[in-house]
């Protein structure tokens, strides 16, 4: 552990959990921004603990759209939302952060030698700045139910299958029962969700995520 004033840097989730578990135990307000569930696995309750962990708490979770491509993650988010958590999806890049009671911020850092660093901040001025960034992203997000409705309409998995088959757009559009322009628009939206700049990259990222 490295300590500089009100900033502590820890290496790996095991040390993060050991250093912060007491903070999570007493927190009544948790705000979390992440690209997926894996960044904050130490903060994810196990299945028997999930419902109990939300009692008497204000929980806000914000993720990027790619989480909806994984059925298990999507189910987890629906469970949390059904039991009182506020879940939003944002298409913006997010600073992977957890805020506890607006007085502690935990910011995920880079992987070095296969181990990720995490910075725990307690300086009121720094926490306020990090909180402001979270609030701006939160305000621009879409609630989970609304975004999932759009995602389902998009037919993401069906489109991925068509892209993987290598068929022409006209053939794929007919197979999905949509117009050519609609199909191409949905492909473009799916590429945005995957953060891909090309169809080839979209297919590669889908395979990396185990979606194909």
The list of the chain residues with pLDDT below 70 reads: 1-5, 41-55, 150-154, 205-212
Pairing of strands 58-63, 86-89: parallel
The radius of gyration computed from the CA coordinates of the chain, to the nearest angstrom, equals 19
User: What is the per-residue pLDDT across 77-128, written as a single tens digit (0 to 9) for each?
Assistant: 888 888 889 999 887 778 899 999 999 999 999 888 888 899 999 999 999 9
What pLDDT score was predicted for residue 60?
94
Q: Give me the residue spans of the domains in the chain.
A: 2-142, 155-208
Torsion of the alpha carbons at 156, 158, 159 and 162, rounded to the nearest 10: 160
- With b for 16 or more beta-carbon neighbours within 10 A and e for fewer, the 152-164 pattern comes to eebbbbebbbbbe
CATH of 2-142, one of 3.30.70.1880, 3.30.870.10, 3.40.190.10, 3.40.50.1000: 3.30.870.10
CATH of 155-208, one of 3.30.390.10, 1.10.3720.10, 3.90.550.10, 1.10.10.10: 1.10.10.10
What pLDDT score was predicted for residue 1?
47
């Amino acid at each position: 552990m490295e300590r500089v004033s009100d900033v502590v840097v820890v290496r790996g989730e095991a040390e993060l959990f050991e250093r912060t578990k007491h903070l999570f135990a007493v927190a009544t307000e948790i705000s979390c921004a992440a690209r997926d569930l894996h960044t904050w696995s130490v903060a994810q309750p196990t299945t028997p603990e999930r419902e109990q962990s939300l009692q008497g708490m204000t929980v806000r979770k914000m993720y990027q759209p790619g989480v909806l491509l994984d059925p298990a993650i999507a189910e987890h988010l629906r469970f949390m939302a059904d039991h009182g958590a506020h879940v939003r999806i944002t298409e913006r890049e997010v600073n992977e952060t957890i805020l506890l009671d607006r007085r502690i911020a935990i910011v995920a850092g880079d992987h070095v030698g296969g181990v990720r660093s995490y910075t725990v901040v307690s300086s009121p001025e720094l926490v306020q700045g990090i909180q402001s960034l979270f609030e701006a992203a939160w305000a621009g997000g879409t609630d989970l139910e609304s975004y999932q409705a759009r995602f389902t309409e998009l037919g993401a998995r069906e489109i991925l299958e068509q892209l993987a088959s290598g068929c022409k757009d006209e053939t794929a559009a007919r197979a999905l029962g949509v117009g050519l322009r609609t199909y191409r628009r949905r492909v473009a939206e799916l590429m945005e969700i995957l953060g891909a700049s090309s169809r080839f990259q979209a297919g590669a990222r889908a395979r990396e995520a185990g979606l194909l």
